[in-house]
Structure 1
């Protein structure tokens, strides 16, 4: 928590917003002792700013500077009190409803929805009429009127957290439901609590000033809202006495601005996707002879000295370091390496799908003589999927859960040219049959398919525009051995039939050696060895490759296979210990 707070105030937005807000908090605390009594009649009404009265006087002859300074105390006190109460009430009700579910959720959600449909202003008027005058009335009115929206937000977050393993572990450990809510769920919503508190405080200040301006507050107190109320009654705008309302208006705007900056800073620090990454070096040409040469003949893809950097607060971090390789038409080229070696980053880099924090800092990606790193947005859209497509690791995440399969095929085809929905559905049926699925699944939803079926749909989508290269990023990781074998055999059949090349990315080295024509081995972002599958099995040169091979004892010279034309994708035999545990049954 201490580190999070330290990072928050190192953030530029947080530093600016926090400085402005701190100024007003100090002003609210000690300012009233530094100015005159705001209720004293000290000058002529509507007196413009002067040496005696820096902000002039209002319609009653009171000092505007004193009213502005003193008004900050109650306004900010009410604002922060309401912000805290609205956040607390909304969080407790929302998290309780989301975690307990069933009847409790039904009752609390119904109550929440009732408060959401009641207009806030009439509710505030009714509550204000029956509550005693004073700042506590404003706190109660704004809390009752504002908690419901927060409850809905926290309920949604609780629904996403209640099925996590750590919540189940707490329940198994015997923790009570109240303790799970307080100790397990709410601490995991710390960023949401912080941003909600800031947002609710902003809501409270604005709502308080608005209600008091309409005369629904205690007009006898000195607040920013009542300052504007009396400015309106004194016809300050009609008499062009701008100094009566401008100072208060500027203070309200600055407090709102500071709270908005703090809220934005919290969002960016807790959600890196919203944070603008630090600048990294743009793509720069290298001067090596290999880079200067054109793409070799008989090669569909040529990667030359590719470097990819991730921007961090400490500077660029290189995750792909001067990688070079070629892929021939119809070839299966495998990339192997441990987690974090940069293999998936290379796959995403070929399609320029890197996250905002990553940049290609050096090198070229040549596809049929075109430098992919130099394509503009329009050319890149035409290149993706039509020339190089991708099968993503998580099929369920890659498929849109609210669209049928046919609609997703139509979206893909329509994005690259004019086509009718009927033509798209016909093409979808053809592609589904091609990957071994029923053509009638065009009407199905992704959740109605098994994992293997969804991955086949991903392959069918990748082939929709007949690309020359398909990047497969760990497409079989979540599948069992039997489904994996069937899927890969289908890929090889389609490759032989359609003639596309494959860049297959996985940490499963035995699978790559059985599937690929050539295999590249990555270590720490560097391509340490590239060779045919057969030679890697029997004559690996790099120590890291030999280390990977030694991790799979069943890989030896006796089971070496040739290229993919004679590929064997049989499931590996189980060790004797596992066979014994299962009673010897297959």
Structure 2
């Protein structure tokens, strides 16, 4: 009866904790990897909810022990000739003044057992938080990355995203068309709410629950993704495209070591052995100027800049043809920003991967991109070479964005120029 009564509470706790993990970026990436339901639960959900669940289990065990002993003390539990601590306490209570030990010992045993269960829960929860296999780093180095496929890496035509709303669906992205060639760096700029990140998530098939994407064409590395079965489409996305998320703290699983997260994709889709995948992960960390010893670390042990570099290293593991960098420098200081952008340029030069760089920073995009796509109110209003951004822009919104970039020649006695008004509500 006690066990049955505790089931709803445990079920509610497990559901609430799992729901908090289900919406994270690292679980969405694990789904794209093609991991099965049981492996998702065992590898990505349970490690992140195990600590509070174990504490609840051991607390409930101690509480149940006290409750069962209380029933026996009242004569409603174990009956003679059987016995437990509650019945021993009840029998010894009659002689407590003549012989106190038979009465006090069962009570002290109950207190000790309840505290032991609490301490056991702390130990098990701490072990679950530190759980993880130590990754051994082989001495060999991985082979250099191969070139991307010839022709267009990404072709998108007529992309529209719909989000459910009480008054009917809204369309924050409407009719977006873009293309990227091999080895090309294209910037996607626009203010917050213009639909940049939703466009990237729709291309990567990582839209939030309830959102729907439609398009006339979506081709990645020459393959029409819309014509593929779901499993094959996920495999093509997991190996041909990498996303560098804006917030690496949520994109990296806090319960898994860096080495495990770097090697998961190549082991799942390339059939790479553990030793080879670990060697490739060590090489990827070296390429982003991080020591291979970080393979043994967990994300919370790294700084923000280090986590962002780990995200880039994870993107290099499958040697993708397209890298989507969704505002990868927003939360970083200017020194680390410069390091990240130089790193992306080096990756483009070494691997011939195309890069879609999403940013609010027009000056940063103008510095290292080749083409610029300007997004406003869910549509791309202008596409032009970066050399024409300052003087050759034709759309008034593009000109307003460029005019808002401060420079050292501006009159310091006057307010900085801004874009008047606000974008329309989708």
Other-structure match for 1:485: 338
Shift, 1:420, TM fit:
2.2
**Counterpart among 51, 68, 76 of residue 122 in structure 1:** 68
Shift, 1:374, TM fit:
3.5
**Counterpart among 285, 288, 292 of residue 432 in structure 1:** 285
CA displacement, residues 245-294 of structure 1 (integer Å, 9 cap, x when unaligned): xxxxxxxxxxxxxxxxxxxxxxxxxxxxxxxxxxxxxxxxxxxxxxxxxx
Q: Is the 8 A contact 2:263 2:317 kept in 1?
A: no
Shift, 1:126, TM fit:
5.5
| Structure 1: distance between partners of 2:263 and 2:170 | 39
Q: Is the 8 A contact 2:221 2:321 kept in 1?
A: no
Shift, 1:112, TM fit:
11
| Structure 1: distance between partners of 2:219 and 2:212 | 17
1:470 aligned to 2:323?
A: yes
Shift, 1:576, TM fit:
9.9
* DSSP-derived class of the 2:387 partner: helix
**Counterpart among 190, 193, 201 of residue 340 in structure 1:** 193
Q: Is the 8 A contact 1:302 1:365 kept in 2?
A: yes
Other-structure match for 2:222: 369
Matches within 5 A, 1:410-449: 410-449=263-302
**Counterpart among 170, 178, 181 of residue 325 in structure 1:** 178
Q: How many residues align?
A: 292
Q: What's the RMSD between the two structures over aligned residues?
A: 3.2
1:537 aligned to 2:390?
A: yes
Shift, 1:123, TM fit:
6.0
Note closer, same or farther for the CA distance 1:119–1:325 as it changes in structure 2 (3 Å cut).
same
Other-structure match for 1:57: none
* DSSP-derived class of the 2:406 partner: coil
Note closer, same or farther for the CA distance 1:329–1:114 as it changes in structure 2 (3 Å cut).
closer
Q: Is the 8 A contact 1:406 1:442 kept in 2?
A: yes
Shift, 1:445, TM fit:
2.1
Q: Is the 8 A contact 2:259 2:278 kept in 1?
A: yes
**Counterpart among 395, 400, 409 of residue 262 in structure 2:** 409
Q: Is the 8 A contact 2:243 2:323 kept in 1?
A: yes
Q: Is the 8 A contact 1:352 1:373 kept in 2?
A: no
| Structure 2: distance between partners of 1:315 and 1:407 | 42
Shift, 1:460, TM fit:
0.8
Q: Is the 8 A contact 2:246 2:327 kept in 1?
A: yes
Q: Is the 8 A contact 1:302 1:367 kept in 2?
A: yes
**Counterpart among 232, 245, 253 of residue 379 in structure 1:** 232
| Structure 2: distance between partners of 1:434 and 1:111 | 44
Q: Is the 8 A contact 1:413 1:424 kept in 2?
A: yes
Q: Unmatched 5+ residue regions in structure 2?
A: 9-54, 77-117, 119-149, 415-426
Q: Is the 8 A contact 2:190 2:196 kept in 1?
A: yes
CA displacement, residues 327-364 of structure 1 (integer Å, 9 cap, x when unaligned): 11100011111111110011111111111211113332
Shift, 1:419, TM fit:
2.4
Q: Is the 8 A contact 2:221 2:240 kept in 1?
A: no
**Counterpart among 334, 353, 357 of residue 210 in structure 2:** 357
Q: Is the 8 A contact 1:537 1:555 kept in 2?
A: no
Other-structure match for 2:399: 546
Greater fraction helix: 1
| Structure 2: distance between partners of 1:474 and 1:352 | 18
Note closer, same or farther for the CA distance 1:344–1:111 as it changes in structure 2 (3 Å cut).
closer
Shift, 1:369, TM fit:
3.0
**Counterpart among 326, 338, 353 of residue 500 in structure 1:** 353
CA displacement, residues 146-177 of structure 1 (integer Å, 9 cap, x when unaligned): xxxxxx9xxxxxxxxxxxxxxxxxxxxxxxxx
Other-structure match for 2:83: none
Q: Is the 8 A contact 2:158 2:175 kept in 1?
A: yes
Q: Is the 8 A contact 1:322 1:363 kept in 2?
A: no
Matches within 5 A, 1:563-582: none
* DSSP-derived class of the 2:339 partner: helix
Q: Is the 8 A contact 1:386 1:466 kept in 2?
A: yes
Note closer, same or farther for the CA distance 1:118–1:412 as it changes in structure 2 (3 Å cut).
same
